[in-house]
Structure formats: structure tokens, C-alpha cells
């Protein structure tokens, strides 16, 4: 028995050495993670975001939010050539599976970015996020994105754990209409009411907050605006 | 000769040339007068005719051009970029103002067969009527019945943005006199029925040579249905030669591998990416096995061109570019494509011995490395494996080194790729 055990251990060790040379990627397995390596090339392993601060984290975002974004890129409501090119030959059912896969990944968040702006700007950002500006009819971010700002399942994204540059770019794109969603496009309305100063203040404050946890399961209050891409369960009875 | 006579002669010659152009432009117009389907019953057509028309519209891949990105199918509005300007595909739904609502089956036939609109205007051959003219009237009527059955969508297409002189009907008339001859496909009695069916589909609705042939300066395919490969204008992907033994000829493929490629996007011999991925997505995956086998029979019978291979030479020492490329391969590619370029069967294509890797044009390789891609989702392959884009990770010089290595490793013998070869396609990656 003993020599046989020894032998099988040696074979197993040899086998794993062959399968996993030093520094190599894990061996091929037929899994959804393997099928979507095209995504993690830019969005980082398991979709945890890339260090360059441009490609956002996709791990743990609400599934319908991710699915809507895949549809938006494929169907021309969001513009980024590489995304559109990759998604053009893919049908809805597969995009839904890809979205569900990344939504289900629980990956630790990176530490927040320290804010470089002065205290007044940071405070302006915080106020817009938690209170909005009723005088200018700007709803607070937390009214839709949840008090913890980690989003609301299944279709409203979180705002934390994202780089400041990415947040700035997205709010700017919403404002100019380069980024769109299904009608009625509520974020376009909100972003149009924001000034460039508002946007950089909001992005600076959000990027400096620590992120943890999952999206909320329901909204405590009805949505202040009608949003096309938001499914009824997340709308919290706004209709 | 007096100046007067010269002018008279020139005017006479011009008149004769114009008459010839006009005569060539109205060839085969009389055929439209007789119709197997009376125009009046077109609104009440049997379901099987509509189903047949839907199938044929798939075979013609009408949806690819006549649908804007994210738009209603067949409602038009997509801009087709050409070297001469952008042509917007019209709305094919039966809306009476912006679509085909006022078109009769004969009007539709004339568009397909003669390349003329309902009002008699000449159509731009971006609409591949030089191919569709081979379609028989019964098939045209079935497609018409199908399009009539769609819900009408009110959507006007933007005007074309063609520069002078391409925006003139007269220019189009001259082009047609030179390069367009109407005529329904006539079967070759010396060939089997299957081959003839394949020819009808490949040369007609399939319009394969729209991409798989090179074009002259006026945008016309250089040879009639030569399928000898060509760089697709504007997209800059190379549609490989279907006659080339070293490109995409299928003479030595098993029929079921060709059928699988067109039906599912993947096969034991390779997978489709890039523009062909969309063709499989929108068109060929819906075709019957019998029709795909017929197309295969036609493609397999094409004259194969086998360029002379250089005599085998002992492997030379690795160049610096190959050495740098090998290191990049180890970092970025080896996990999926393997230590010996063997790939993973059913998931990642082998690079060793691949014609797609070694063919003379490196355009597709550059595009695939820069942009990545997925084969299409099809019923037979609903969850394709993807390739990541490297446009943001690798410089032009790195992509050139990597491809130079891949094209020369594991027995491959493709020419080196230069940084310039990569740079010229980098601008196709549009953010």
C-alpha cells in the first residue's frame, strides 16, 4: 500500500506541475468564467476593475443593471467601440447569462481614493449626494441608488468603489447625451441639471468613500423620477 | 476637318454613348410586367408564402443593412459607409410614407431585378442588386409578401451623403452600363441540381462576392463572382479568398464542417469572427442544412488556386522581433492558445497550421488582436468563447512582434508583420 500511495502522490504532483507551470493561468475549464475572459482582459480578474481607473468594476453590480448596459452598448445607447464590437454578435440570452455571472461575484473592494479637492468642494459633493438640491430640482443620489449608495437590486447600480475619473466621465456623458438608457432616461434629466462643478464635486466625494457590501434588496421610498431601465421590483412601487 | 464638323462628330459620339448607356440601363425591364402573384392579393397572402419570404430574406441578409443599430428590424436607417460616401438603407416595412407601403410586388421585383426604385430612380449598388438580379420572380414575390406582413414603422432614412459626381443619376447610369447586367439565374444543365441551388444562393441572395471579391476604383467587383478575396472597403477586414487553397477555400473540407461553420459559427476547422460573425448571426444560421450543403457543394467546386510554396528551408535563428513576440505570447496568449499554438478544441482556435494566421493579408489578425471578438451566438453555439481586445494593452510595435512570432512559430510560415501594418488598422478601433 505504502509504495502505491507514494507513487500516486508523485503522479499527482507531476500532473499538477505539468498543468500549472509557474506563473501560468489556470488550466482550461468549460465554465462561464472561461467563456468571458474577453471581458476580464480590461475589467480585471473576476471583473474587479483594472488599475488604470478607466475600466469600471463589474463584479457584484446588480444583474439587470449589467444586462441593460450590455444591451445599451450593443444597441448603440452607450458608446465605446471595443464594447460595441465585442457585443454585436451576441444575443440577449447570452448577455443575460454574462450579466448574472458578474453580478454574482463577491470580490473585495479596493480602498477609496483620497480626495484632492478642498473641503468646500467635498462638502458640496456630499450635500448633492445625500440631499440633492430641491431648489434646482436635483434629487439626491441616495434616493435612487440606496442610502448605502451600493445600488438597489436588480437594476440600479451602486456609486461607490468606482474611480473618480470614471464617475466624471459617466456623468459628463449622461449630461451630453453620449450615454443613454431606455426611455424615459432619468439620468439624462438629472445630469443635465448638474453643472461641471457639481459633477466634479459629486465624483470626488463618492470616490473617497469606502465601499463594501451588496446592493440593497429594495428601495425604502418610491423613485423621484421615472426610469426606463429600472424593473418594477426596484422601483419600489413608484407607479 | 472644320471645327464645326469636329463639334458635330463629338456631339454625335456623345449622343450615341448616351443612347447606349440608356439602352443598357433599361435591359430586361419588360419582365416586370408579368407577375405570378397578382399585386392586388398581396395584402392577403398565405402564411407559407410569408414564411418562405422570411427565409429568403434571411438568405439575403436584408436585415443587416436595413436595420439601424438597436432599431426595429427592417425599418432602415443604417448608414452604409463606402469610399464614395454614406448610403442609408431605406425602411422596408409597409409604412405608406416612409416604407414600402405603396410598392407593388412588381415594384419590389424591379428593385431586385433591375436596381430601380418605385419612381424609376436608379439605385446605388450598395444594395447588391447585381447579385439579387439572379433571384427568380417567385422568390421575389415571397420576400415581398413577408415584408408586407411586418408591422409598419414610420421612420424616414437620412439622405445619402455622396459627393460629386457620385450623387448624380447620370454617373450611376454609366456605372450600371459598365458593370450591371440584369438576368435571372439560369441553371447549368451540366451540373447537379445541388450545385445549381448552391450557385443560385451564393451568387444571388447570399451576395458572397460583395465582400469576398476585390473592387476596382469605381467600387465594382473586379471579376464576375470570382470570390478570390478582397479587403472590405471602410471596415478593412480582409474577406479571404474562397478559391484560395491557402486562404479560405473549402475544397478539402468535409461538407459537414462547412455547414457547421455557417450554421453555428464554429466548426472543427475553425470559427468565424469579425464581419462574417454578423453574416452567420443574421443570415446563414437560419438556412436549412440542405441549402447550406448546396452552397458548400458550389464552394467546394470552385477552381482552387494554390500559390507556389517556397521550398522548405531549415528554420533560421529567431529574429529579435520573433523573440520579443514569443515573450508577449507567453504573457498574453498561451493560456488559451497553448504552448504549441494548439488551442482548445471547441473553444479556442489552433494557431499552428491555421490558414487564417498565415495568409498573406495580416489585416484580420491585427483586427482580432486589437479588438478581440466573439463568434456569433447561434442555436448550435449559444454561449461562444471570446477573445479579449488588446488595443489598450499592446502598442503597435508589440502587436507586430507578437504576430510576427505567431505567423512563424510551430511550423507556420507567414510573412512578418510590421508596425506600419498594425498602425494602418489601429484607427479602425473607434472608441
Q: pLDDT tens digits, chain B, 431 residues: what are they?
A: 688 898 999 999 888 888 888 888 888 886 555 554 444 444 556 899 999 999 999 999 999 999 999 999 999 999 999 999 999 999 999 999 999 999 999 999 999 999 999 999 999 999 999 999 999 999 999 999 999 999 999 999 999 999 999 999 999 999 999 999 999 999 999 999 999 999 999 999 999 999 999 998 898 887 667 899 999 988 999 999 999 888 999 999 999 999 999 999 999 988 999 999 999 999 999 999 999 999 999 999 998 877 666 555 556 778 999 999 999 999 999 999 999 999 999 999 999 999 999 999 999 999 999 999 999 999 999 999 999 999 999 999 999 999 999 999 999 999 999 999 999 998 877 65
Confidence of residue A185 (pLDDT cuts 50, 70, 90): very high
Burial classification of residue B296, based on how many CB atoms lie within 10 Å of its CB (0-12 exposed, 13-18 middle, 19 or more buried): buried
Nearest residue to B73 via CA among B53, B58, B85: B58
For residue A133, give how far its alpha carbon lies from the nearest alpha carbon of chain B (Å): 34
Rounded distance between C-alpha atoms, residue A88 and residue A75, angstroms: 8
Verify whether the Cβ–Cβ distance B388 to A37 is below 8 Å.
yes
Q: Which of B334, B375, B430 sits opposite A89 (nearest CB)?
A: B375
Rounded distance between C-alpha atoms, residue B396 and residue B388, angstroms: 16
Query: Quick one: cell of B74?
Result: 427592417
pLDDT of residue A232: 59
- Inform me whether the pLDDT recorded for A239 exceeds 60: no
Nearest residue to B402 via CA among B370, B361, B354: B370
Confidence of residue A230 (pLDDT cuts 50, 70, 90): confident
Q: pLDDT: is A157 or A238 the higher one?
A: A157
A74 touches A80 (CB < 8 A) = no
pLDDT of residue A55: 87
pLDDT of residue A115: 87
A234 touches A226 (CB < 8 A) = no
For residue B364, give how far its alpha carbon lies from the nearest alpha carbon of chain A (Å): 14
Q: pLDDT: is A2 or B316 the higher one?
A: B316
Give the chain B residue nearest A35 (alpha carbons). B385
Give the chain B residue nearest A84 (alpha carbons). B431
For residue A88, give how far its alpha carbon lies from the nearest alpha carbon of chain B (Å): 8
Which one of B272, B386, B390 makes the best mutation probe of the A interface by having the most chain A beta carbons within 10 Å?
B386
Verify whether the Cβ–Cβ distance B335 to A25 is below 8 Å.
yes
Chain B neighbors of A75, CB-CB under 8 A: 69-70
For residue B394, give how far its alpha carbon lies from the nearest alpha carbon of chain A (Å): 12
Q: Does A33 touch chain B (CB under 8 A)?
A: no
* Stretch A209-231: mean pLDDT: 89
The dihedrals phi and psi of B109, each to the nearest 5 degrees, come to -60, -45
Domain definitions of chain B by residue range: 32-177, 193-300, 320-426
* Stretch A23-35: mean pLDDT: 80
User: Mean of the per-residue pLDDT values for chain B?
Assistant: 92
Angle among Cα B241, B244, B250 to the nearest 5 degrees reads 90
Q: What pLDDT digit, counting tens, does each position of B12-33 carry?
A: 988 888 888 888 888 888 655 5
Which one of B64, B278, B388 makes the best mutation probe of the A interface by having the most chain A beta carbons within 10 Å?
B388
Whether domain B320-426 has CATH 1.10.760.10: yes
Interface of B with A (CB under 8 A): 68-70, 265, 277-278, 280-281, 334-336, 344, 347-348, 371-377, 382-393, 429-431
Rounded distance between C-alpha atoms, residue A22 and residue A27, angstroms: 12
Nearest residue to A46 via CA among A61, A29, A65, A68: A61
**Full set of structural domains in chain A with CATH:** 119-235 (1.10.760.10)
Question: What's this model's pTM, rounded to 2 decimal places?
Answer: 0.89
* Stretch A55-67: mean pLDDT: 95
Q: Does A97 touch chain B (CB under 8 A)?
A: yes
Give the chain B residue nearest A25 (alpha carbons). B335
pLDDT of residue B314: 53
Chain B neighbors of A82, CB-CB under 8 A: 371-372, 389, 391-392, 429, 431
Q: Does A94 touch chain B (CB under 8 A)?
A: yes
For residue A14, give how far its alpha carbon lies from the nearest alpha carbon of chain B (Å): 18
Chain B neighbors of A91, CB-CB under 8 A: 281, 377, 382
Q: What pLDDT digit, counting tens, does each position of B102-161 carry?
A: 999 999 999 999 999 999 999 999 999 999 999 999 999 999 999 999 999 999 999 999
Maximum C-alpha span of chain B? 81
For residue A136, give how far its alpha carbon lies from the nearest alpha carbon of chain B (Å): 34
Chain A neighbors of B286, CB-CB under 8 A: none
pLDDT of residue A235: 47
Confidence of residue A236 (pLDDT cuts 50, 70, 90): very low
Whole-complex ipTM: 0.90
Residue A67: strand, helix, or coil: helix
Half-sphere exposure of A10 (CA within 13 A, CB side): 6
Confidence of residue A25 (pLDDT cuts 50, 70, 90): low
Verify whether the Cβ–Cβ distance A38 to B390 is below 8 Å.
no
Amino acid at each position: 500500500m505504502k509504495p502505491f500511495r507514494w507513487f500516486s502522490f508523485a503522479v499527482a504532483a507531476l500532473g499538477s506541475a505539468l498543468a500549472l507551470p509557474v506563473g501560468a493561468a489556470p488550466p482550461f475549464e468549460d465554465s462561464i468564467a472561461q467563456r468571458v475572459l474577453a471581458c476580464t482582459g480590461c475589467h480585471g480578474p473576476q471583473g474587479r476593475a483594472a488599475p488604470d481607473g478607466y475600466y469600471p468594476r463589474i463584479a457584484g453590480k446588480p444583474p439587470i443593471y449589467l444586462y441593460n448596459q450590455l444591451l445599451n452598448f450593443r444597441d448603440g445607447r452607450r458608446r465605446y467601440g471595443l464594447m460595441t464590437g465585442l457585443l454585436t454578435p451576441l444575443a440577449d440570452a447570452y448577455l443575460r447569462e454574462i450579466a448574472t455571472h458578474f453580478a454574482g461575484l463577491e470580490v473585495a473592494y479596493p480602498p477609496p481614493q483620497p480626495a484632492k479637492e478642498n473641503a468646500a468642494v467635498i462638502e458640496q459633493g456630499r450635500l448633492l449626494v445625500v440631499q440633492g438640491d430641491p431648489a434646482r430640482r436635483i434629487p439626491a443620489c441616495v434616493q435612487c441608488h440606496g442610502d448605502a449608495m451600493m445600488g438597489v437590486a436588480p437594476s440600479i447600480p451602486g456609486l461607490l468603489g468606482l474611480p473618480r475619473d470614471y464617475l466624471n466621465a459617466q456623468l459628463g456623458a449622461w449630461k451630453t447625451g453620449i450615454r443613454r438608457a431606455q426611455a424615459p432616461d432619468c439620468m439624462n434629466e438629472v445630469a443635465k441639471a448638474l453643472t461641471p462643478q457639481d459633477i466634479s464635486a459629486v465624483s470626488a466625494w463618492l470616490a473617497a468613500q469606502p465601499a463594501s457590501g451588496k446592493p440593497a434588496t429594495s428601495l425604502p421610498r418610491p423613485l423621484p423620477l421615472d426610469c426606463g431601465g429600472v424593473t418594477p421590483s426596484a422601483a419600489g412601487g413608484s407607479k | 476637318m472644320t471645327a464645326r464638323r469636329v463639334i458635330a462628330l463629338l456631339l454625335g459620339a456623345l449622343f450615341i454613348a448616351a443612347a447606349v448607356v440608356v439602352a443598357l440601363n433599361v435591359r430586361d425591364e419588360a419582365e416586370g410586367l408579368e407577375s405570378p402573384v397578382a399585386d392586388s392579393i398581396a395584402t392577403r397572402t398565405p402564411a407559407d408564402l410569408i414564411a418562405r419570404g422570411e427565409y429568403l430574406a434571411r438568405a439575403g441578409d436584408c436585415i443587416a443593412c436595413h436595420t439601424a443599430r438597436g432599431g426595429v428590424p427592417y425599418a432602415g436607417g443604417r448608414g452604409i459607409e463606402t469610399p464614395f460616401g454614406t448610403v442609408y438603407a431605406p425602411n422596408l416595412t409597409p409604412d405608406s410614407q416612409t416604407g414600402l407601403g405603396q410598392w407593388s410586388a412588381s415594384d419590389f421585383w424591379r428593385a431586385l431585378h433591375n436596381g430601380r426604385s418605385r419612381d424609376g430612380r436608379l439605385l446605388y449598388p450598395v444594395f447588391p442588386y447585381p447579385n439579387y438580379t439572379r433571384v427568380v420572380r417567385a422568390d421575389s414575390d415571397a420576400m415581398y409578401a413577408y415584408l408586407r406582413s411586418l408591422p409598419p414603422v414610420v421612420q424616414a432614412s437620412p439622405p445619402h451623403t455622396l459627393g460629386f459626381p457620385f450623387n448624380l443619376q447620370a454617373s450611376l447610369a454609366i456605372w450600371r452600363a459598365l458593370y450591371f447586367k440584369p438576368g435571372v439565374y439560369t441553371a447549368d444543365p451540366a451540373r447537379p441540381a445541388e450545385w445549381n441551388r448552391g450557385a443560385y444562393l451564393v451568387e444571388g441572395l447570399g451576395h458572397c462576392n460583395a465582400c469576398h471579391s476585390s473592387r476596382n476604383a469605381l467600387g465594382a467587383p473586379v471579376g464576375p463572382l470570382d470570390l478570390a478575396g478582397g479587403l472590405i472597403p471602410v471596415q478593412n477586414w480582409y474577406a479571404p479568398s474562397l478559391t484560395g487553397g491557402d486562404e479560405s477555400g473549402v475544397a478539402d473540407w468535409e461538407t459537414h464542417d462547412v455547414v457547421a461553420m455557417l450554421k453555428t459559427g464554429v466548426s472543427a476547422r475553425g470559427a468565424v469572427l469579425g464581419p462574417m460573425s454578423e453574416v452567420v448571426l443574421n443570415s446563414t444560421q437560419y438556412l436549412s442544412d440542405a441549402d447550406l450543403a448546396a452552397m458548400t457543394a458550389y464552394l467546394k467546386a470552385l477552381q482552387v488556386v494554390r500559390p507556389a510554396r517556397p521550398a522548405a528551408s531549415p528554420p533560421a535563428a529567431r529574429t529579435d522581433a520573433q523573440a520579443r513576440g514569443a515573450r508577449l505570447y507567453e504573457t498574453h496568449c498561451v493560456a488559451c492558445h497553448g504552448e504549441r499554438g494548439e488551442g482548445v478544441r471547441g473553444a479556442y482556435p489552433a494557431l499552428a497550421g491555421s490558414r487564417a494566421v498565415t495568409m498573406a493579408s495580416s489585416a484580420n489578425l491585427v483586427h482580432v488582436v486589437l479588438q478581440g471578438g466573439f463568434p456569433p451566438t447561434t442555436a448550435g453555439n449559444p454561449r461562444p468563447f471570446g477573445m479579449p481586445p488588446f488595443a489598450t494593452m499592446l502598442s503597435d510595435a508589440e502587436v507586430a512582434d507578437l504576430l510576427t512570432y505567431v505567423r512563424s512559430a510551430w511550423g507556420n510560415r507567414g510573412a512578418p508583420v510590421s508596425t506600419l501594418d498594425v498602425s494602418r488598422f489601429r484607427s479602425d478601433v473607434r472608441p
